Amino acid sequence: MTMNVLGYAVQSSKDALAPHRFERREPRANDVTIEILYCGVCHSDLHQARNDWGNSIYPMVPGHEIIGRVIGVGPEVTRFKPGDPVGVGCMVDSCQHCPACEQGLEQYCEDHHTLTYNDLDRHDRMPTFGGYSEKIVVSDPFVLKIPEGLDLAGAAPLLCAGITTWSPLRHWRVGKGSRVAVIGLGGLGHMALKLARAMGADVSLFTRSPGKEQDARRLGAHNIVFSTDEGQMAAVKGQFDLIIDTVPYAHDLNPYLPTLSLNGTLVLVGYLGGLEPVLNTVPLILGRKSVAGSVIGGIAETQEMLDFCGQHGIASDIELIEIQGINEAYERMLESDVKYRFVIDLASLKA
């Protein structure tokens, strides 16, 4: 028997989000049923709602930074019980047997991981709907434990913004003595600063905007570099082992390449699409430097990140909103008018 759920959906790329009732699947033996308490608002929610990437399925209920409480478990579920605080991120399933999945890298599943929304369930082909809603049903392996003491609302963006920046920090083995720079101070950038600092790195922020110094230092930056100042850029030539580029729109990477150290890597986590102008390969070749990409993280990696955040008291800086204000939040997000992530209080859905 399917489950009738209330959420907020968009019916086409031109429509605003509005209340919408829809059907979730009947829970299977390995499913966890979750009452959603909070859901972060990711920039990709806006892109998908407005079909900016050309793959949107309507009606769409966005939301993949989900925090909730377990209200039911299938007979095969042993890790969770009703009342447990849990999280659900960008994926709710994968093939579980390809080389990527066997390495715990479900985000690179060769048979396409199943997205939390704007996708089809790989078993029954029902549409997946996200966290701007009352409840969600997710298979046990894709449900995450929330450490005791972690602020639940502030933990929501960890399921996307947090893991998107944690994954490259871990893959490139950032630790004490590492020199890390972050391009852009937004939802992703502010998490990158917090996590890199807690991992023991020397942390810098690249920014084009004056007035961000105080906030950047509060969030973990030791240094601020204005990327439009040629003198400041020259002063950090050859300095960074890893640069995490969180900028969500097309921009020139060339000014940053000389600031990489020997064997250094600039990793793109914020932008999907073509790059212009063409990369200057001279600094790459002469310093064995790399430009790479990374997307979210696997389930084990995400749990590791949550546990680390619990140990270090790290959560996202958020503005809590009622769901009735989601369309205004989208417009403000386009203007970068949030510090640093909107989170929906789903109690407002019942108001």
Mean pLDDT of 105-117: 96
Query: pTM of the prediction?
Result: 0.94
How far, CA to CA in Å, does 184 sit from each of 32, 83, 341, 349? Answer: 36, 38, 14, 33
The structural domains of the chain, with segments of one domain joined by +, span 3-160+297-350, 162-293
Question: How far is residue 16's CA from residue 24's CA, in Å, rounded to a whole number?
Answer: 22
Strands 179-183 and 202-207: parallel
- Amino acid 206: pLDDT: 97
- Amino acid 92: pLDDT: 98
Q: What DSSP character marks residue 60?
A: B
Q: Token pair for residue 292?
A: 């790479």
Q: Token pair for residue 107?
A: 């985000």
Q: What DSSP character marks residue 164?
A: H
Task: Tell me which residue has tokens 């105080």.
Answer: 214
Q: Mean pLDDT, the chain, as a whole number?
A: 96
Task: Give the CA radius of gyration of the chain.
Answer: 20
State pLDDT tens for residues 34-93. 999 999 999 999 999 999 999 999 999 999 999 999 999 999 999 999 999 999 999 999
- Amino acid 270: pLDDT: 87
Q: Token pair for residue 174?
A: 């950032």
- Amino acid 281: pLDDT: 93
- Amino acid 341: pLDDT: 95
Between CA 339 and CA 345, with CA 343 as vertex, the angle to 5 degrees is: 140
State pLDDT tens for residues 236-273. 999 999 999 999 888 999 999 999 999 999 999 988 78
Q: Is the pLDDT of residue 1 over 80?
A: no
State pLDDT tens for residues 309-321. 999 999 999 999 9
Instruction: Give, to the nearest 10 degrees, the angle between helix 299-312 and helix 161-171.
Output: 100
DSSP 165-209: HHHHHHHTT--TT-EEEEE--SHHHHHHHHHHHHTT-EEEEEES-
Q: Is the pLDDT of residue 351 over 80?
A: no
State pLDDT tens for residues 7-24. 999 999 999 999 999 999
Q: Is the pLDDT of residue 335 over 80?
A: yes
**Region 162-293: CATH code:** 3.40.50.720
Q: Is the pLDDT of residue 135 over 90?
A: yes
Mean pLDDT of 299-324: 97
Q: Does domain 3-160+297-350 have CATH number 3.90.180.10?
A: yes
